[in-house]
Amino acid sequence: MQHSHEGLDRPGGFSRVNLLAPLRHRDFRLLWTGMTISLLGDGIFLIAMAWQAYELWNAPAALSLLGIGMTIPTIAFLLPAGVLSDRLDRRSLMLCADAGRAVVIAALAVLSLTGLLTFWELVVIVALYGVGTAFFTPAFEAIVPDIVPAADLPAANSLDQFVRPITLRLAGPALGGALVAGVGTGAAFAVDAASFVASTVAVFLMRPPAHPRSAHVESSLSAVKEGLRFVKSRVWLWGTLLSATIAYLAFMGPAEVLLPYVVKNELHASAGDLGLVFAAGGVGAIGAALIMGQRGHPGRDVTFMYATWTLATLAVAGYGLATASWQLMVACLLFNALETAGTIVWATIKQRHVPASMLGRVSSLDWLISIGLLPLSFALTAPVAALVGVRATLIGAAVIGGVATLGALFLPGMRDIEGLAAEADADRDGPPLDPELLRPPAFVDVRS
């Protein structure tokens, strides 16, 4: 089915119609429904895991070790997961990932409810959770262009980024805070496990078309090398991934570990207050998704993406400057609004300029390279905070991450794909266009 939405992108256009257009497609509607329920559970999990960790070990090192335990397995399995998502049925990979995470979170709920949970068991469980995430993420990102026409991809990405903060950062944390405060962390984990069951059922009911397969399938190693060559030959890809690696090293560990610590130990607030801080971030992200859904894909997309991501990273300094929960809420709102706007543009850029047969591997490399140093970020957070203080760590992380992000925008060739969106849209009901066919002759390759 093809739908015309040209009039909806004009100034004053009615954004809601454009935002909901992808829901006309049955498989995306099922995927979106399952994702919504699962993300609601993930938002509950964020609060329950943080509070459970600090109940078992009330020190910044607790969440640092959990972050390391979750990210190392994710990093280790992302490349094979990306290769498999280009070779095998993406729906089947998502089914296995969701079912596996339902099992491990259910086990966590039982251990927590019975009072038998130890900190190291929590680390093992989140590690298994990280493996499931590694297999789900590339398949999820790659299956969207299989089930949504190219004309609806910007709206699909905006809808994704609209629902994600509502569930993951607004309703989920608020509900998680209430559950933890009212009935305990075990019950919160049980609700999260149930959300994965619902997502598994939704994915099972999907019937996506067969996706284009990679032409080079001699071995997994050759498939990975093919993906690496594709990334290395495009500045907009490798430059963005490299800057994300440095920025995430600087600010992600401190933000994830120290924000709950500030709420609990410096402001002496409750789990409900932490949920409200995360919920404020959800409000910001929702607003950004609505605005992006109305305005459409920006013409100077790379510049726009880097500007919003730089400002988002600098907003993390607000966590270190805040002296009250409402100030944390403002900082979280700004961070998530700006991060969401840039992420919507990034997702559309990838889907337009990466061939469908490569999208699983490129998505896995995106995650792998971007978060490759996250374990180090988590590991450094506790000792750095002990040395210079929690607040100074957050402020310094924001400044370093912001500089690293903005600097990548000025790499030679980074903005060469700007202005190509119109050419891509001319063929937007076909497969994503390869920038090799679009970029000007002045573009310099960096193939090794």
Output the pLDDT for position 287: 86
Q: By mean pLDDT, which of 235-239, 334-338, 346-350, 423-427 is the weakest?
A: 423-427
Among 71-85, 151-165, 257-271, the least confident range: 151-165
Looking at residue 435, its pLDDT comes to: 33
- Top-tier CATH class for 14-438: mainly alpha
Residue 329 reports pLDDT greater than 90: yes
Which band of pLDDT confidence, cut at 50, 70 and 90, is reported for residue 202? very high
Q: Residues 6 or more apart from 404 whose CB is under 8 A from it?
A: 243, 246, 247, 250
b/e 298-324 (16+ beta carbons within 10 angstroms → b): beebbebbbbbbbbbbbbbbbbbebee
Looking at the predicted structure, is the pLDDT value of residue 214 above 80?
Answer: no
Which is more confident, 324 or 365? 324
Dihedral angle at the C-alpha atoms of 124, 125, 131, 133, nearest 10 degrees?
A: -140
Query: Has residue 411 got a pLDDT over 60?
Result: yes
Q: Which two tokens stand for residue 36?
A: 């919504």
**Is the pLDDT score of 396 beyond 80?**
yes
Reading the block at residue 360, the tokens are 């699983």
**pLDDT band, very low/low/confident/very high, at 211 (cuts 50, 70, 90):** low
pLDDT average, residue stretch 119-128? 93
Residue 232 has pLDDT above 90, yes or no: no
Model confidence at 112, pLDDT cuts 50, 70, 90, reads very high
Question: In angstroms, rounded to a whole number, what is the distance separating the alpha carbons of residues 332 and 259?
Answer: 10
Weakest mean pLDDT among 29-33, 282-286, 317-321, 440-444: 440-444
Domain locations in the chain as residue ranges = 14-438
Provide CB contacts within 8 A for 214, sequence distance 6+: 86, 87, 223, 226, 357, 358, 361
Comparing 31-40, 64-73, 154-163, 232-241, which segment has the lowest mean pLDDT? 154-163
Mean pLDDT on 162-168? 78
Handedness of CA 23, 27, 28, 33 (dihedral sign): positive
pLDDT of residue 350: 85
Of residues 367 and 426, which shows the higher confidence score? Answer: 367
Residue 9 has pLDDT above 60, yes or no: no
